[in-house]
Amino acid sequence: MTRYAVGDALPPFTIEDVSSRAMKQWAVFLADPNPIHLDVEAVKAKGLGDRVINQGPINVAYVMNMLLRAFPRGRIETMDSRFLDNVYAGDRAIVNGKIVAIEGNRITCEFALEVDGRATVNSGTATVEI
Amino acid sequence: MSDLDDLPPPPDAAGVSLDGTAVFTITADENAELCRSTGVEPADDGTAHPIYYYVATQVAMGVTVAGLCEACAFDVEDGPMMASSGVRFDAPLRVGESYRVTGEILSLVRKRSRKLGVMDLMTYRLRLHLLDGTQILETDNVWVLPRKEFAA
């Protein structure tokens, strides 16, 4: 059985190229056709940049992927995320995490989703039952 | 004196029910598509991707995203933004399982931000239940609603 310790860094989860196709899929999953996720012209018109913007829940899903790979067969019990900035199509995004507490079979982690060339875009904490 | 004293109060949205009537079923095909869209394969133990906490509660709550904004007298075209999202799971989400949603708007608080100007922070809570009423999770989301009509 894998042994964990406070301070351990978790294996990063990397998204090499954030996909505009995935955003179209998520507009359907979420029943939310907000054009800033689908249409570059809508993003430009709102002064938000020149690439379509990832739906926030996709960014949370990346973090969950990192946690579930770090703790195979683990179960996320709680998770709190703060949305600090946008993730755009074409971005390279990396989720990093570390263990900050262990109580019995519950491990609490801090995480950060970072985008190349910009600061942290999402951060928070999660507790995983292993 | 508050720097908001020259502004009208936000709409009284706290307590608005978000109870849904629709049943949300996590299908194997959609779960697989969703997982792959985020860079992973679906789990082989029958559990769904945990991000369905957000997807299922949003889709099966009692209002659309536009309707949620409308409850706060906010036009969805003005661009709501996610500020935070929290979830507490009582049990894993499962492929093939069906769920219902209950929930409510908890608060709508007007603030002034250097970056965004006047904005309202909407906090709402949604719960996902099995059809027999068993609660599976509870999620609190906070959205920023920029109030462009109060721009200087």
Look up the ipTM and state it: 0.96
Nearest CA in chain B to A58: B38
pLDDT tens for A48-86 read: 899 999 999 999 999 999 999 999 989 999 999 999 999
Which range (A21-25, B2-6, B35-39) has the least confidence?
B2-6
Tell me the mean pLDDT in the region B84-101: 98
Amino acid, res. A126: A
Under DSSP, is residue B72 helix (H, G, I), strand (E, B) or coil? coil
Domain range holding A84? 9-129
Say whether B38 and A79 touch across the interface (CB within 8 A): no
pLDDT single digits (tens) A81-97: 999 999 999 999 999 99
Contacts of residue B43 in chain A, CB cutoff 8 Å? 68
pLDDT surpasses 90 at B48: yes
Mean pLDDT over each residue of chain B, to the nearest integer: 94
Count of structural domains within chain A: 1
Would an 8 Å CB–CB cutoff place B116 in contact with chain A? no
Query: Closest residue of A to B93, CA-based?
Result: A75
Q: Which residue of A has its CA nearest to B41?
A: A65
Would you list the DSSP string of B31-53? HHHHHHHTT-PPPSSSBPPTTHH
Indicate whether A48 belongs to any domain.
yes
Question: Is the pTM of the predicted complex or chain greater than 0.90?
Answer: yes
User: Is A2 part of any domain?
Assistant: no
Name which of B51, B59, B79 is nearest A61 (Cβ-Cβ).
B51
Q: Give the CATH number, domain containing residue A67.
A: 3.10.129.10
- Could you tell me if residue A72 is inside a domain? yes
Among B64, B82, B92, beta carbon nearest to A83: B82
List, in order, residues 6 or more apart from A111 with CB less than 8 Å away: A10, A63, A66, A67, A95, A96, A97, A123, A124, A125, A126
Architecture of domain B24-150: Roll (3.10)
